[in-house]
Amino acid sequence: MRKQSIILTLAAIALDPSASVPLHRQLFDVVRKAILDRKLTAGARLPSTRAFAAELEVSRTTVINAFDQLLAEGYVDTRTGSGTFVAASLPDDLLRVRGRGPNIVRRPSKQRAVSRRGILWASTASTFTEDEGEARAFQPGLPSIEDFPFDVWARMMSKRWRYPSSELACYGSAAGYRPLRDTIANYVQLARGVRCDSEQVIIVAGSQQGLDLVARVLLDPGDSAWIEDPCYRGAYGALLGAGAKLVPVPVDEQGLDVLAGESACAEARVAYVTPSHQYPLGVTMSLARRLTLLDWATRSGAWIIEDDYDSEYQYTGRPLAALQGLDKEERVIYIGTFSKVLFPSLRLGYLIVPRNLINTFSVAHAHTSYFCPLVEQVVLTDFITEGHFARHIRRMRRLYEERQAVLVRSVGSELDGLLEVSSARAGMHLIGWLPDDANDQDVSRLAAMAGIDVRPLSFYCIEARRRPGLLLGYTGIKVAEIRLGVRKLAKILRSL
């Protein structure tokens, strides 16, 4: 191939100086594609960097950087005094499956492609949905992102990076930024009645990482673990991932049925609970049940994992203190998160661990993920200590209470007889109860086709058989979208 035809081939796709991708990367992609598409054949000589730059009207440095990357990845070869040539053996060819000829017989491998744990995880794939960055009615667990004071957050972030300390550029402690741990310890003592000091606080990347860490530290493969039924599927997956044998324990109007758990498996190693606001039903565990659960854990030597995922959103009265605050024998590991309070991509949460497990959890965290990004921990500390956190929570409580009221009124006027919804004193979602003969999974699929997100209650059930229902999140949805979503849902339910 002549040099001029090569230039024409590559110049056919214009480079865009305004794109977010650097020019040298755009040029690399163009040349790589031309090679893979066989528009540039093996052994073809590329033009000089100077001639190429002149033809494309870019700097020679751009072309040199692109050629260097092509050389590093094996797409071209250089010959001293001769120039740059398309490589005879391409890396993409080597990565493709070989041996399609008739004389090669493939035998199935006797080994599993993944572990049993991987297979179990794959079976829970529908637990996590794709988040495209835009709230849809009625996505549960989503805060009102547009109402977060990002201007304040950005100013604090900029201030910290403008004059960074040496500490900010280092690894930091695996347990987390010490001032943030002090701040969290003070906060949970005052707001949730948790009994702890800052040494017991371990910073994690959100409650999901916290669940994974707790499950791996406390459980050996084959150990039994109580889990609420219906349950938070993220906890279900974390316990499965640790190799636990799950024991579904029914939930009633008083929360987890401890006696039923003891009857099913008294020797369970851990019990996972959401006592302040059960997920997904929203009930609060009674004081009698809490004391019974703590008594069982003490007698059996078991651990209790308390997931306090949305306790900040209490709209009437004062919330019942955390289960951990009643624990005199230090059998409770408490999990909290900022992702649902502030914004989801802020992957910061925390564990409050018993004193005799502080070193174990710190070392385990160091071996698995070491620590969360330090600058976010520093800025969050500033955000809390300067009062922005408390003000934001107060604003969101008023906003979410209003949105819940709009949802209840809209369902009452548009879906009378088709869906029953009652207001709740806490939380970020409501349960909409369908008629007994309805199929909540069918409704969820039809709703998704109409652009609304309603999770079927049956999805969260393991063995429990409950009346069909839908989870209706409202906190991250604007009032107009709530009303529109209810009208769409009414149309679907009437068609059924």
pLDDT per residue over 450-487, tens digit each? 999 999 999 999 988 889 999 999 999 999 999 999 99
In a domain, 109, yes or no: no
* Together in a domain, 338 and 471: no
Lowest mean pLDDT, pick from 128-137, 177-186, 187-196, 451-460: 128-137
State percent of the chain over pLDDT 90.
Answer: 59
Looking up residue 14, the CATH number of its domain turns out to be 1.10.10.10
Q: Does the pLDDT at position 133 exceed 50? A: yes
Domain end point (choices 348, 365, 389)? 389
* Together in a domain, 298 and 439: no
d(CA 289, CA 323): 10
Domain end point (choices 363, 389, 415)? 389
In a domain, 384, yes or no: yes
Q: Does the pLDDT at position 110 exceed 60? A: no
pLDDT bucket at 1, cuts 50 / 70 / 90? very low
Joined together, the tokens standing for residue 171 give: 């690894």
| Averaged pLDDT for residues 442-452 | 92
pLDDT at 235: 94
In a domain, 459, yes or no: yes
pLDDT per residue over 375-405, tens digit each? 999 999 999 999 999 999 999 999 999 999 9
d(CA 485, CA 422): 17
* Together in a domain, 305 and 411: no
pLDDT at 55: 81
In a domain, 362, yes or no: yes
* Together in a domain, 228 and 313: yes
Question: Closest Cα partner for 474 from 417, 409, 418, 416?
Answer: 409
**DSSP state string for 453-468:** --EEGGGG-SS-----
d(CA 264, CA 487): 44
In a domain, 155, yes or no: no
* Together in a domain, 328 and 196: yes
pLDDT bucket at 34, cuts 50 / 70 / 90? confident
Q: Does the pLDDT at position 108 exceed 70? A: no
pLDDT at 29: 86
* Together in a domain, 176 and 248: yes
pLDDT at 131: 54
What torsion do the CA atoms of 428, 432, 433, 439 make, to the nearest 10 degrees? -110
| Averaged pLDDT for residues 262-282 | 95
pLDDT at 99: 43
385: which residues sit within 8 A by CB, 6+ positions away? 183
* Together in a domain, 384 and 419: no
121: which residues sit within 8 A by CB, 6+ positions away? 237, 240, 241
| Averaged pLDDT for residues 89-107 | 52
In a domain, 174, yes or no: yes
pLDDT bucket at 9, cuts 50 / 70 / 90? low
Cis peptide bond prior to 148, omega within 30° of 0: no
* Together in a domain, 420 and 487: yes
Joined together, the tokens standing for residue 28 give: 């690399």
| Averaged pLDDT for residues 335-351 | 92
Looking up residue 397, the CATH number of its domain turns out to be 3.90.1150.10
Q: Does the pLDDT at position 276 exceed 70? A: yes
More confident residue, 114 or 436: 436
| Averaged pLDDT for residues 420-432 | 93
Cα angle value 179/184/185 (rounded, 5°): 100
* Together in a domain, 400 and 321: no
Q: Does the pLDDT at position 223 exceed 70? A: yes
Q: What is the DSSP secondary structure assignment for residue 133, as one 8-state letter?
A: S
State percent of the chain over pLDDT 70.
Answer: 89
Lowest mean pLDDT, pick from 87-96, 189-198, 234-243: 87-96
* pTM, full prediction: 0.75
Q: What average pLDDT does the structure give for the chain?
A: 87
Joined together, the tokens standing for residue 329 give: 């024998």
pLDDT bucket at 73, cuts 50 / 70 / 90? confident
More confident residue, 9 or 415: 415
pLDDT bucket at 333, cuts 50 / 70 / 90? very high
Lowest mean pLDDT, pick from 156-170, 334-348, 474-488: 156-170
More confident residue, 370 or 301: 301
| Averaged pLDDT for residues 147-161 | 93
Q: Does the pLDDT at position 6 exceed 70? A: no
Q: Does the pLDDT at position 104 exceed 50? A: no
Lowest mean pLDDT, pick from 32-46, 100-114, 206-220, 398-412: 100-114
* Together in a domain, 409 and 365: no
| Averaged pLDDT for residues 156-171 | 81
Domain count, the chain: 3
Residues 248-286 as b/e (b if ≥16 CB within 10 A, e otherwise) read bbbbeebbbbbebbbebbeebbbbbbbbbbbbbbbbbbe
pLDDT bucket at 189, cuts 50 / 70 / 90? very high
pLDDT at 100: 45
pLDDT bucket at 98, cuts 50 / 70 / 90? very low
pLDDT at 360: 94
* Together in a domain, 61 and 83: yes
pLDDT at 230: 95
* Together in a domain, 169 and 295: yes
pLDDT bucket at 239, cuts 50 / 70 / 90? very high
Half-sphere exposure at residue 301, Cβ-oriented, CA atoms within 13 angstroms: 3
Domain end point (choices 389, 414, 444)? 389
In a domain, 157, yes or no: no
Looking up residue 359, the CATH number of its domain turns out to be 3.40.640.10
Neighbours of 490 (CB within 10 A): 18
d(CA 33, CA 481): 44
> Containing domain of residue 409, as a range?
392-495
Q: How many residues does the chain have?
A: 496
In a domain, 73, yes or no: yes
